[in-house]
C-alpha cells in the first residue's frame, strides 16, 4: 500500500491537520495489517471484523470506511485502481447524536468561582514574588488554565486552534483574534471586553515569569515551562478545571465548550451564519446541528409548561 505517499499528499496538497494525518495513517495501517485486499469482498470482511471482533461503534466503522474510500480515490487518480470498492459496501447505520453541552448556570458558577485566579489583585501578588518562586509558578498556571477555559468557551475555537495562537494573533486595536482553522483558512473572531482584559492580565503574568522578550510569533499561551501548549495539556486542564463543579456532568473536553457557546448563542437569537463564521465551519449544514439542541429543549419546556401537554389535554382538554 502507498500509505506514505497518500499521507504526504494529504499534508502537502489537502493541508490536513497533523492529528488528522495521524488518524488516517493509523486506519490505513490497521487495514493493511488485516491482510484483506482492496476489493469489495476485502472491505466487507474488514467491516465485519471491526463490528464483530473489535466491537467498534458504527461511527468508528464509518470513519474507517471514509478513510479507505479517500485512499482508493487517490489510487484511482494514480491509475493504480480501476474503481472504488468501498462504494459497493453498505456502511452500518449510525445513531444521530446531538452535540453535548454544559448548562449556562454551570458555566456562570465556574467563572465566578475562579475569578480570583484571573483578577488584577492576584496578578499584583504574583508580581511581588520572585519569578522562579514556586508560588508564582503555581499562580501563573492557575491563571493559564482559567484562560484556556475562557478562550475555548468565549470564542468557540477548536483545541488545535487554541494551541496555534500566537501573541501576534491578538489585535489589540480591534480587540479580535486571528485564528488559523481547518484548511489553513484564517478567520477573525471578536473578543468580548472581559475576555480581552483577562488575556492582557495573563500576558503580564507570562512576561514576568518568562521575560518580556517574546515577538509576534511567540505562543500566546505557554506551559509553566515556557513551551507552547499541546493537546494532552489542554485536555487535562479542562478536565481538572471543571472537575470540582457538580454542574459539569459527562465528558469534560474542549469540544464540549465549543458546543456550549454555539448552543447559547443560538438560544440568544444569534443567526446561524454568524455562528458558522465564528466556529469556522465550511458549510451551514455543520452549524445547523445546534438547532436540534434548541428544539429538544423547547420540547421539554412545552411538555412541562404547555396547558395541553398532559394526556388529558390540560386545562383546555376534555372535561368530565
Say whether 290 is catalytic.
Answer: yes
Q: For 39-43, 170-174, 311-315, which range has the lowest pLDDT when averaged over its residues?
A: 311-315
* 213 or 187, which is more confident: 187
Single out the catalytic residue among 44, 73, 255, 292.
255
Q: 280-287: long-range contacts (C-beta < 8 A, 24 or more apart)?
A: 280/157, 280/158, 280/161, 280/179, 280/181, 280/182, 280/185, 280/187, 282/182, 282/183, 287/262
**Mean pLDDT taken over the chain:** 85
- Is 148 in the same domain as 79? no
pLDDT given for residue 156 in this prediction: 87
pLDDT tens-place string over residues 173-183:
999 999 988 87
- The tally of domains found in the chain comes to 2
pLDDT given for residue 315 in this prediction: 45
Q: Is 141 part of a structural domain of the chain? A: yes
CATH number, position 249: 1.10.443.10
pTM of the model: 0.64
Q: Is 64 part of a structural domain of the chain? A: yes
- Is 22 in the same domain as 136? no
Q: Is 307 part of a structural domain of the chain? A: no
> Per-residue confidence at 102, pLDDT binned at 50, 70, 90?
low
Domain that holds residue 57: 3-88
Rounded average pLDDT over 208-227: 90
Say whether 255 is catalytic.
Answer: yes
Distance CA 318, CA 320 (A): 7
Q: Is 83 part of a structural domain of the chain? A: yes
- Is 116 in the same domain as 231? yes
CATH number, position 14: 1.10.150.130
Single out the catalytic residue among 158, 222, 259, 276.
158
- Is 70 in the same domain as 146? no
Amino acid at each position: 500500500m502507498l500509505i506514505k505517499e497518500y499521507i504526504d499528499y494529504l499534508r502537502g496538497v489537502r493541508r490536513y491537520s497533523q492529528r488528522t494525518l495521524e488518524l488516517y495513517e493509523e486506519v490505513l495501517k490497521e487495514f493493511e495489517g488485516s491482510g484483506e485486499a482492496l476489493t469489495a469482498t476485502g472491505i466487507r470482511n474488514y467491516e465485519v471484523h471491526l463490528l464483530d471482533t473489535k466491537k467498534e461503534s458504527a461511527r468508528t466503522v464509518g470513519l474507517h470506511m471514509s478513510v479507505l474510500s479517500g485512499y482508493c480515490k487517490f489510487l484511482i487518480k494514480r491509475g493504480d485502481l480501476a474503481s472504488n470498492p468501498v462504494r459497493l459496501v453498505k456502511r452500518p447505520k449510525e445513531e444521530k447524536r446531538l452535540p453535548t453541552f454544559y448548562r449556562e448556570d454551570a458555566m456562570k458558577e465556574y467563572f465566578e468561582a475562579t475569578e480570583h485566579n484571573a483578577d488584577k489583585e492576584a496578578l499584583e501578588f504574583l508580581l511581588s514574588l520572585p519569578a522562579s518562586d514556586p508560588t508564582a509558578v503555581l499562580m501563573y498556571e492557575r491563571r493559564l488554565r482559567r484562560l484556556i477555559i475562557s478562550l475555548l468557551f468565549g470564542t468557540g475555537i477548536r483545541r488545535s486552534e487554541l494551541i496555534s495562537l500566537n501573541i501576534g494573533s491578538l489585535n489589540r486595536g480591534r480587540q479580535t483574534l486571528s485564528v488559523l482553522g481547518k484548511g489553513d483558512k484564517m478567520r477573525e473572531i471578536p473578543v468580548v471586553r472581559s475576555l480581552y482584559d483577562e488575556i492582557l492580565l495573563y500576558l503580564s503574568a507570562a512576561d514576568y515569569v518568562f521575560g518580556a522578550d517574546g515577538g509576534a510569533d511567540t505562543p500566546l499561551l505557554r506551559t509553566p515551562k515556557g513551551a507552547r501548549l499541546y493537546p494532552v495539556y489542554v485536555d487535562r486542564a479542562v478536565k481538572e478545571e471543571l472537575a470540582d463543579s457538580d454542574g459539569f456532568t459527562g465528558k469534560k473536553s474542549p469540544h464540549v465548550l465549543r458546543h456550549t457557546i454555539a448552543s447559547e448563542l443560538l438560544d440568544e437569537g444569534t443567526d446561524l451564519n454568524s455562528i458558522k463564521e465564528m466556529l469556522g465551519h465550511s458549510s451551514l449544514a455543520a452549524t445547523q446541528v445546534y438547532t436540534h439542541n434548541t428544539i429538544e429543549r423547547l420540547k421539554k419546556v412545552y411538555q412541562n409548561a404547555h396547558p395541553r401537554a398532559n394526556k388529558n389535554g390540560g386545562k383546555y382538554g376534555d372535561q368530565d
